[in-house]
Structure 1
Amino acid sequence: MNCGGKVVCVTGASGYIASWIVKLLLLRGYTVRATVRNPTDKAKTEHLLALEGAKERLQLFKADLLEECSFEQAIQGCDAVFHTASPVKYIVTDPQTELIDPAVKGTLNVLNTCKKTSSVKRVILTSSTAAVLVRPLEPNDVVDETFFSDPSVCTELKLWYPLSKTLAENAAWQFTKDNGMDMVVISPGFVIGPLLQPTLNFSDGFIVDMINGKNPFNCINYRFVDVRDVALAHVKALETPSANGRYLIDGPSMMTIYEIRETMRELFPDLCIADMNGESEMKDIMTKEIIYEVCVEKVKNLGIEFTPLKSSLTDTIISLKDKCLL
C-alpha cells in the first residue's frame, strides 16, 4: 500500500487505540505527528518511539485538549487528522471538568484547527458505542449507525462517560456540517487485545478485573472487539475515499461473563481466576440487561474482518503477563 508519503496527525497518541493507529500508519509509510500532553514523560512516549518506522517518520508534539490553538503546530501541513484524545473513566467526582469539557471542547478545538488548515482533507474521530447505546432499547433491536445515545437518559442515570462521548460526537457533527468538512466517525465497543503502552488501560483493566473475580459493570452479557481491528478501521476510514458517516465496530456476538471466564480457564489452565464476588463496585451503571443485536455490515465493507474472540483474549492475557500487569 503506497500512501504517497502522506502526513497525518494522531491526537492523544499514547492511548490504547491511538498507539495501534500510530503503529499501523508507520507500517504503511505515513509520516505521523503524534500529540501527547507531555512529550518528556517516557511512560507515555517510549512505546511510540520504539515502533518500526518511528525514527524516520514519527514526530511528537505537546498539546492539551483544553488549550485553544495548542494543536496548530502538529496539524499544520497534515493531509488528515485522527482525533482520539478524550478521557476514559467511569468514576468521577466532577463530570463536567473531568470528562465533558475535555471531550467536547477538545473535539471542537481540534476541528477548529482542521478547519483553518487547508491541507487537511478528512478528520477521523474516535467515538464509542457509549454514544450509541444509552437510549431506550427493545429486546432484539438491531443496533446500527442510526442509533444515538440520549443525553437526558445519560444524565438521569449519571452515566457521565457516555454523556461526554455523546455530546462530543453531536458537537462534531454540527461543526463539520456547518463548515462543510469531511469527517468519518469510528464507534468501537468494549476494546480488548494486546497493549503497546506500558500501563493498564480502562478496557484491558476490565479483563484483569474478571480474572480477579470482579464484574465492575454488573452485567452478564458482554461484547468485545479487538484493538487491532479498531485501529485498522480508523486507517481504512482514511484510505477509502467513499468512507462516510459513522462506523460501528463492536463484537458481532455476545458472550456471558461466565463463558468468558470459562474460555480464559481453557486457554490458560495455570491462570488463577478468582471466584466471582457479587458486589458491584459501580452502583450507577445500568444493570437492566436488554439483549440486542449489532449490525457491523458497514464496517465490514471497509474491509474489516473480525479477529476471533479467543485470539483476542489469548493475546490480551499474554500481553498483560509480559507487561507484569496481571
Structure 2
Amino acid sequence: MGVAGPEDHQRRRGDLEDLRRIYESTQMLASHRKDNSDDFYGRRVLSNYSSSDTDEETSDELVCVTSGVSLLGLALVNQLLLRGFSVRILVDSPENDDAEDREKVNEMKLKTEAGGGVSKIWTLWGDLRESHSLANAFEGCRGVFHTSSFIDPSGLTGYSKAMVEVEKKVSENVMEACARTSSVRYCVFTSSLLACIWRDGTRAELPPVVDHDCWSDPSLCKNKKLWYALGKLKAEKAAWRIAKERDIKLVTICSALLTPPPHLSTNNSTPTIAYLKGAQEMYDQGLLATVSVRTLAEAHVNVYEAMGENEAHGRYICFDQIIKTQAEAEALAREVCVPITKICQSQEEEAEKASTSTSTKFQLSNKRLFNLTSSRAPSTRCFSLNAFP
C-alpha cells in the first residue's frame, strides 16, 4: 500500500519492476520442485493461476493478502499458492487508479507451470482507509493477512509523524472489517520487532530477554522521534484491542528488519530506512536483527495453519540473524545500501564506547515461534530459526 503523490511515481515504477523479478524467481524455484508429487512442504504444489470469478467460488481455502504487491506481500502470496491456497491480493489505490500498477499486477498473474494442479489468484483494488471497502474484499475469505506497507514522501525516512495515525486507523479498519465479515475466521497481522524493543535500557529492572511479552514504550518512541516504531506499536495495540472486543482470532508476527533475495537491491527502500532510524542504539544493545523475506513469508503461513488447529495464538517474534559484530554490520549495510555509520560506528569508536558504556545488552528470543514450528508435523515444518533463551 502506498500514500504517495506524482513525485513518487518513478520510485513506485522501480519497486514494481523489482517485485516482478521476485515473482519470476520464486516461480522458477517452484518449477524445480514439480518433479515430485509432494512439494518442499510435503503438500501438493498447485499451479496455473486463473482470474475467473466463477472458479473463485469453488475454493475451499480462500485468503486475502493486503498490500499484496509489497516485498513481503508478494513473497507471502507465492508461499500461499505453493501450499494450495487461493489468494485475493488487495492493492491499495487511495485516490487514483494507477494504470501502470494495474498492468504490472496483471503481468504477475500470468499462467505459470509449477506442477500438480490448479491454484488461483485474483487482484482487487480498494482503499485500506475505508472499512466498507475492506469488508467487501474479505467477503468469502477464511483468513486475512494484513501486511501493511506504507510510503510517505513528505517524511525524511519515508515515514513521518503523520503516518503513525494512518497506520493505526488502517489497523482498526482491517480488524473491524474482519469482525463484520462472516466468512473470516482468522487474521494474521504483520507487526514489527520495533513494537517490542524500544525501552529504557538503563533501567536495571528490565528483564535481559526481549520476547513476545515485551512492548516498546510509546513515550520513548515519541521522545526519540521513532515514528515507524510508534506507528507499528499503535497499530498492533489497536488490532489487539479490537480483536478482544469483537472476538476475532488474531495472531501478530513481530518482524525484524526485512532483507530481500540476493539479486534484489533495497536501495531507497522506505521501510528499511525507516526501520534503521536508531539502528546504532539497537546494535549497541544487541537488538538489531534481520529476517529474510522468504523466512518471514513462511512464518506467516505456518502460523495461519497452526491457528486452524488451535495451536497458534498471541504474538510471535520472527528473525533469523542478530547483527552482533562489525563485519556483520558492514555486510548488512552493503546489502541494504546504506552507509555503515547508519548501523554502527568505526571499530575504534566501538572499542572506546565498549570500554565506557553502561548500557545493558539484551537477548532477543524467537523461542515461541521456534517451538511452534518445531512441534508441528514434519510436513509443515518448512524453515528453521535460531532460538535464543
Higher helix proportion (structure 1 or 2): 2
Once the 2 structures are TM-superposed, how far is the Cα of residue 102 of structure 1 from its aligned partner? 2.4
Distance in 2 between residues matched to 1:278 and 1:23, nearest whole Å? 32
Distance in 1 between residues matched to 2:331 and 2:262, nearest whole Å? 23
Distance in 2 between residues matched to 1:198 and 1:52, nearest whole Å? 25
Paired residues of 1:34 and 1:60 also in contact (CA < 8 A): yes
Identity of aligned residues (%): 28
User: Of 98, 102, 121, which residue of structure 1 is paired with 2:185?
Assistant: 121
Aligned pair in 2 of structure 1 residues 116, 291: CA closer, same or farther (>3 Å)? Answer: same
Once the 2 structures are TM-superposed, how far is the Cα of residue 141 of structure 1 from its aligned partner? 1.3
Once the 2 structures are TM-superposed, how far is the Cα of residue 258 of structure 1 from its aligned partner? 3.0
- Matching residue of 1:61: 124
Please list the CA deviations of residues 91-144 of structure 1 after superposition, one character each: whole Å capped at 9, or x if unmatched: 3698453x1232111111111111011111110000001111111236881111
- Matching residue of 1:284: none
Unaligned residue ranges in structure 1 (runs of 5+): 210-214, 266-270, 281-286, 309-326
Please list the CA deviations of residues 218-271 of structure 1 after superposition, one character each: whole Å capped at 9, or x if unmatched: 455532221111111110111012100000012354323433436999xxxxx9
Aligned pair in 2 of structure 1 residues 274, 13: CA closer, same or farther (>3 Å)? Answer: closer
Letter in 1 for 2:290: F
Paired residues of 1:66 and 1:101 also in contact (CA < 8 A): no
- Matching residue of 1:152: 219
Residue 84 in structure 1 maps to residue 147 in structure 2: yes
- Matching residue of 2:134: 71
Paired residues of 1:19 and 1:196 also in contact (CA < 8 A): no
What is the 5 A alignment of 1:179-198? Answer: 179-194=246-261
- Matching residue of 2:67: 12
TM-score, with length taken from structure 1: 0.74
Paired residues of 1:229 and 1:305 also in contact (CA < 8 A): yes
Structure showing greater radius of gyration is: 2
Distance in 1 between residues matched to 2:157 and 2:295, nearest whole Å? 29
Which protein has greater RCO, CA pairs closer than 8 Å, 6+ apart?
1
Paired residues of 2:251 and 2:314 also in contact (CA < 8 A): yes
- Give secondary structure in 2 for the equivalent of 1:302: helix
Paired residues of 1:26 and 1:53 also in contact (CA < 8 A): no
Residue 101 in structure 1 maps to residue 134 in structure 2: no
- Matching residue of 1:31: 86
- Matching residue of 2:197: 133
Q: Which moved more, 1:15-24 or 1:67-76?
A: 67-76
Unaligned residue ranges in structure 2 (runs of 5+): 1-42, 47-58, 345-352, 374-381
- Give secondary structure in 2 for the equivalent of 1:255: coil
User: Of 290, 293, 296, which residue of structure 2 is paired with 1:227?
Assistant: 293
Residue 45 in structure 1 maps to residue 105 in structure 2: yes
Aligned pair in 2 of structure 1 residues 150, 71: CA closer, same or farther (>3 Å)? Answer: same
Aligned pair in 2 of structure 1 residues 263, 196: CA closer, same or farther (>3 Å)? Answer: closer
Distance in 1 between residues matched to 2:171 and 2:366, nearest whole Å? 25
Distance in 2 between residues matched to 1:64 and 1:51, nearest whole Å? 27
Aligned pair in 2 of structure 1 residues 76, 64: CA closer, same or farther (>3 Å)? Answer: same
- Give secondary structure in 2 for the equivalent of 1:70: helix
Give the root-mean-square deviation of aligned CA atoms: 3.8
Distance in 2 between residues matched to 1:291 and 1:188, nearest whole Å? 20
